[in-house]
Amino acid sequence: MKSISLYVNRNSFVHDVDPITKLIYIAFAILVPIIVPSFTISFICVGISLVLLAFAKVLRKTVPVFSFVFLVLITVVIIQGLFKPENETVLFQLGPITMYQEGLLFALTITLRVLTIVSAFMILVLTTKPSELVESLVRKGMSPSIGYMIVSVFQIIPEMMAAVSTITDAQRARGMETEGSFFVRFKAFLPLMGPVVLGALINTKERAMALEVRGFNSQVQKTYLYEEKTYAYSRLIRALLLLAIAGALVWRILS
Amino acid sequence: MIKVKNLSFSYKQNPQVLSDIQLEFDQRSTAIIGQNGAGKTTFVKLLKGLLKPNAGQIVVKGQVIKEQTAAELSRTIGLVFQNPNDQIFKRSVLEEVMFGPLNIKMEKSEAKEKAIEALRLVGLEHQLDINPHDLSLSEKKLLCIASVIAMDTDIIIFDEPTIAQDSNGKEKIRRIIRTLKEKGKLVMTIIHDMDFVAENFERTIVFNQGRVLADGPTREVFSQKQELLRAKVEPPYITQLADKLGIPGTILTIDEFIAKYHSVK
Amino acid sequence: MNKIVVEGLKYKYPLSETLALDNISFSVKEGEFIGIIGRNSAGKSTLCQAIVGLVPHFYKGAYGGKVLVDGLEVKTHSIADISLKAGMVFQNPFTQVTGSKMTVYEEIAFGLENIGVPRTEMINRIDEVLHLFKIEHVKDHNPFDLSGGQMQRMAIASIIAMKPEIILLDEPTSQLDPGGSEEVFQAVQSLKNQGITILMAEHKMEKVAQYCDKVLLLESGKVVDYDTPEVVFSRNDLDVFGVTAPVYTKVCQALGVKKKGADTYPVTLKEAEAALKEMRR
């Protein structure tokens, strides 16, 4: 069964850090560059994230994500560099194309923002099991039902994909053409939705009953199979990160 | 009607699901038995063109099926899937049964005629305008059978038709299989109910770990105790009882048992 | 001692015109294994669900009469409370998997976490049921990667780990192959040996005859008969209720061979063999 989770199982101190600390790190990596709008700070944040990803031995797994992000960002750079209304200072000219400094700087800011966010999130996503993340949030007081919904999506979507392929087979078996041009595929797509949705509803009802008889709505204080993950330096790291955010705020207010 | 030569198949890089299958099918009604994971469903999907073989060839009525899409093949081979909820697409029983015939470009009037005939065969002819999803699960299974019969193919394959059927439902399926056979169609069924196999199928094929372990007239197959054991298939209950009593030969039905029991006594 | 008492139970699903359960009364003693039989939509699943409280709490609808599960009245207790007394295993192995756990081990823990079992005891219980249902070797697999028989045994294990004294099984083998069903029946047999009270809805009459102490025959939500398998399967009007007797009973009935010293027909392979051999002498 394929899971749609991106989690990569490796041995590293990054994997050992608890999910809550990673969430605080994401807050740090997003907030500080916004509060302190300097290229240096942004570069440092991206740099820290990349180093951490390297330590977690998952740097290679980030390549497809970063390539996609770069593809989007390049169009931003080109469009802003060429057409931003505030463009005045000509940077260089290539035939009929003129690239302006204002647009380019603005695009660079956006690029760095996106990169800080993406790289920080990737640390969480690639080194934390979704179930572990949700479990730690439930311990912190999130409703177990919402927690269940979030985690089950990771497993139930692949199950639905399998249902889609069975239903497509059933359509083809009854003489419906599903291969070929876009129009043919589109025509086959609509009747597909009925059984997929219906099947999902039936499964949801059956699953809800199965959860009920396993005490899902029990009022008793919940216990956990695994002990809460604690990393020796969690408190120190969290304190430093929060301090950094606070420091950035103070700097911003004073200057 | 079907010739299968050196057929092998695996899903992507995984181990082989089917290896080197050689089979020929004639008009005899045929049961395909064996444990889950033995390759039965994969085999019928290959026959139906839903999967493409890695090696070997399938020839249906003289035509190699490699070039045809599953949809094109649906004029020759009908396949009823296991779960009815995966294969109901329309809002009324009649429309549902006409869906297949219309897809293969049958005239509307002819499609309707075939649909009603098929519904009569499964006993749903009085529920033409009902929404299929208001039927019970066992009726839905019968509806799916009718939907395939209406396409009037020479070959019809069922995947586990007796699951979720009570004794009345099984009786209906027994009648449907007999009627199709009388019309000269090849009926092939994947099935786990051995007493049903013993009573209703002329030929039985045992799949085990992607290979054909036994193949022949049903009586002959059920007399091969070693092979059945290897495929983890339990012989029909009636056969087991006859064995315990030392009745010679392989008994397949209650009537045979009674006749032999008296003669032995 | 009576583990389950059902008195005059009537139930109608919301939006339905007819009673799904119509004045049902019966009781089950501790450690008994009851088979529930009848045609499709006779009320077998509804009855199972009425004992664990899914009827009426999950479905709502109109409800009358009384169901006592180990002294607890179902109507006035939550499904979670009843789940400590009576567990239920459903037909479809796939939809019983919670979908929120990555391994079989964690999957079994799900119910125990919900009812607040302390960690050390949780681990003991999981190891125990993994062993009992012979699924230790797949404990680190993803639940969805198991075979049907394994998945169904995992479902039973998940319920048994919660240590209910009663378990309900709704056609637990209808979607399994013969090997898988046999695995499940053997697992159920081991529960009986532990003294757990079992109710099982099932179409495979040979299995019902082989394993059950008593058979409850339902038709249109009413109890037709509640007696030993021999008595119920010796009835000559079973086809009226959409049920057929085990092959062994049919053969003996046709030959007029009854159980020695009884007025009923044999229902299992062993009994039929004995009775038919006796006749030949």
State chain A's mean pLDDT as an integer.
88
DSSP state of A141: T
- C230 with C267: CB under 8 angstroms? yes
pLDDT of residue A92: 84
Mean pLDDT value of segment B221-237: 92
Predicted complex ipTM: 0.89
Is residue B11 very low, low, confident or very high in pLDDT (cuts 50, 70, 90)? confident
- Measure the CA angle with vertex A243, ends A241 and A247; round to 5°: 120
A29, A113 in Cβ contact below 8 A? no
CA distance A130 to A134: 6
How do beta strands B63-64 and B55-60 pair? antiparallel
Q: Which of B18, B27, B85, B15 is nearest to B47 (CA)?
A: B18
Strand partners of residue B24: B3
Nearest to B232 among C179, C242, C248 (CB): C179
Q: Does B13 have pLDDT greater than 80?
A: no
Beta-carbon separation of B232 and C247 below 8 A: no
pLDDT (tens digit per residue) in A169-221:
999 899 888 777 788 778 777 778 888 888 888 888 999 999 999 999 999 99
CB A230 within 8 A of CB C94: no
Read off φ and ψ for residue A93, nearest 5 degrees.
-125, 135
Judged by a CB distance cut-off of 8 A, whether residue C134 touches chain B is no
Task: Please answer yes or no on whether A175 and B133 come within 8 Å at the CB atom.
Answer: no
Q: Phi first, then psi: give them for residue C166, nearest 5 degrees.
A: -130, 140
Peptide bond into C56 cis (omega under 30): yes
Does the CB of C276 have a partner CB in chain B at under 8 Å? yes
**Which residues pair with residue B33 across a beta bridge?**
B206
**Cβ–Cβ < 8 Å for C86, C69:** yes
Q: Do C255 and B167 touch (CB under 8 A)?
A: no
* Joined tokens for residue C7: 């008195």
Report the DSSP beta bridge partners of residue C201.
C36, C170
State whether residue C123 sits within 8 Å of chain B by CB. Answer: no
C132-185 per-position pLDDT tens digit:
888 999 999 999 888 888 899 999 999 999 999 999 999 998 878 888 888 888
Q: Does C145 touch chain B (CB under 8 A)?
A: no
Q: What gap in Å lies between CA C90 and CA C154, rounded to an integer?
A: 12
Work out the percent of chain B whose per-residue pLDDT is above 90: 76
Tokens of C162: 């919660």
Strands (E), chain C: 2-12, 21-29, 33-37, 62-69, 72-73, 86-89, 166-170, 197-201, 214-219, 222-227
Phi/psi for A139 (5° steps) reads -60, -35
Which two tokens mark B92?
A: 């009324």
d(CA A231, CA A13): 9
What percent of chain C has a predicted confidence (pLDDT) above 90?
82
Are the CB atoms for C98 and C178 separated by under 8 Å? no
Average pLDDT of the residues in B145-173: 93
**Which amino acid, B20?**
D
CATH 3.40.50.300 domain position(s) in chain C: 2-233
pLDDT of residue A4 exceeding 70? no
Domain ranges (residues) in chain A: 13-128+228-254, 136-212
* Residues of C with Cβ-Cβ distance to B37 under 8 angstroms: 147
- Distance in angstroms (rounded) separating the CA atoms of residues B167 and A127: 54
Q: B73-110: buried (b, 16+ CB within 10 Å) or exposed (e) per residue? A: bbbbbbbbbbbbbbbbbbeebbbbbbbbbbbbebeeee
Best CA proximity match to C3, nearest among C35, C51, C46:
C51
| Residue A1 clears pLDDT 50, i.e. is over it | no
Best C57, C77, C98, C152 member to test A by mutation, with max A CBs in 10 Å, is: C98
Given A167, A172, A198, which is nearest B71 (Cβ)? Answer: A172
pLDDT higher than threshold 80 for residue C245: yes
- Name which of A148-152, A228-232, B29-33, B75-79 the model is least confident about: A228-232
| Residue A3: pLDDT over 70 | no
Dist. CA A99–CA A112, nearest whole Å:
19
Determine what percent of chain A falls in helix, strand and coil, rounding each to the nearest 5: 70, 5, 25
CATH 3.40.50.300 fits B2-233, yes or no: yes
The 3-state secondary structure of B23-52, one letter per residue: EEECCCCEEEECCCCCCHHHHHHHHCCCCC
Residues of A in contact with C94 (CB under 8 A): 159, 203
What pLDDT shows up at residue C111? 96
Q: Please name the residue ranges forming H helices in chain B.
A: 40-47, 70-73, 93-103, 108-122, 137-149, 167-182, 194-200, 218-222, 225-230, 237-244, 254-264
DSSP 8-state symbol, C136: G
What local confidence, expressed as pLDDT, does residue B69 receive? 79
Calculate what percentage of chain A has a pLDDT beyond 70.
Answer: 98
Q: Using an 8 Å Cβ cutoff, are C172 and C143 in contact?
A: no
Task: Name every residue in A having a CB less than 8 A away from some CB of B.
Answer: 163, 166-167, 169-179, 191, 194-195, 198-199, 202
Phi, psi (rounded to 5 degrees) for A157: -60, -45
Please answer whether residues B235 and B194 qualify as being in contact, where contact means their C-beta atoms are separated by less than 8 angstroms.
Answer: yes
- The answer to whether the Cβ–Cβ distance between C178 and B233 falls below 8 Å is yes
The verdict on a CB contact (< 8 Å) between B237 and C247 is yes
Q: Which CATH superfamily is domain C2-233 in?
A: P-loop containing nucleotide triphosphate hydrolases (3.40.50.300)
What's the CA angle centered on A209, arms B86 and A145, to 5 degrees? 105
Residue of A nearest to B72 (CA): A175
B164-179 pLDDT, tens digit per residue, is 788 889 999 999 999 9
Q: Helix C247-255 to helix C269-280 angle, to the nearest 10 degrees? A: 20
Give the whole-angstrom CA distance, residue C156 versus residue C167: 9
User: Best mutation site among B33, B40, B136, B192 for testing chain C: the one with the most C CBs within 10 Å?
Assistant: B192
Helices C247-255 + B254-264 axis angle, to 10: 50
Averaged pLDDT for residues C75-87: 95
Tell me what pLDDT residue B265 has: 59
Mark yes or no for CB contact A206/C95 under 8 Å: yes
Q: What are phi and psi of B110, to 5 degrees?
A: -70, -40
Chains that touch C (3 or more CB pairs under 8 A): A, B
Q: What is the mean pLDDT of chain C?
A: 94
Residue B181 Cα distances to B75, B178, B199, C4, C164, angstroms: 18, 5, 14, 50, 51
Reported as a single tens digit per residue, the pLDDT across A148-174 is: 988 888 877 887 888 888 899 999 899
**How far is the C-alpha of C82 from the C-alpha of C100, rounded, in Å?**
23
Structure tokens at B8: 């092998």
Ranges of each domain in chain B: 2-233, 235-265
Chain A nearest-CA distance from B106, in A, is 11
Residue A2's pLDDT band (boundaries 50, 70, 90)? Answer: low
Interface touch B74/A175, C-beta < 8 Å: yes
The tens digit of pLDDT for each residue in A60-85 reads 989 988 999 999 999 988 888 888 88
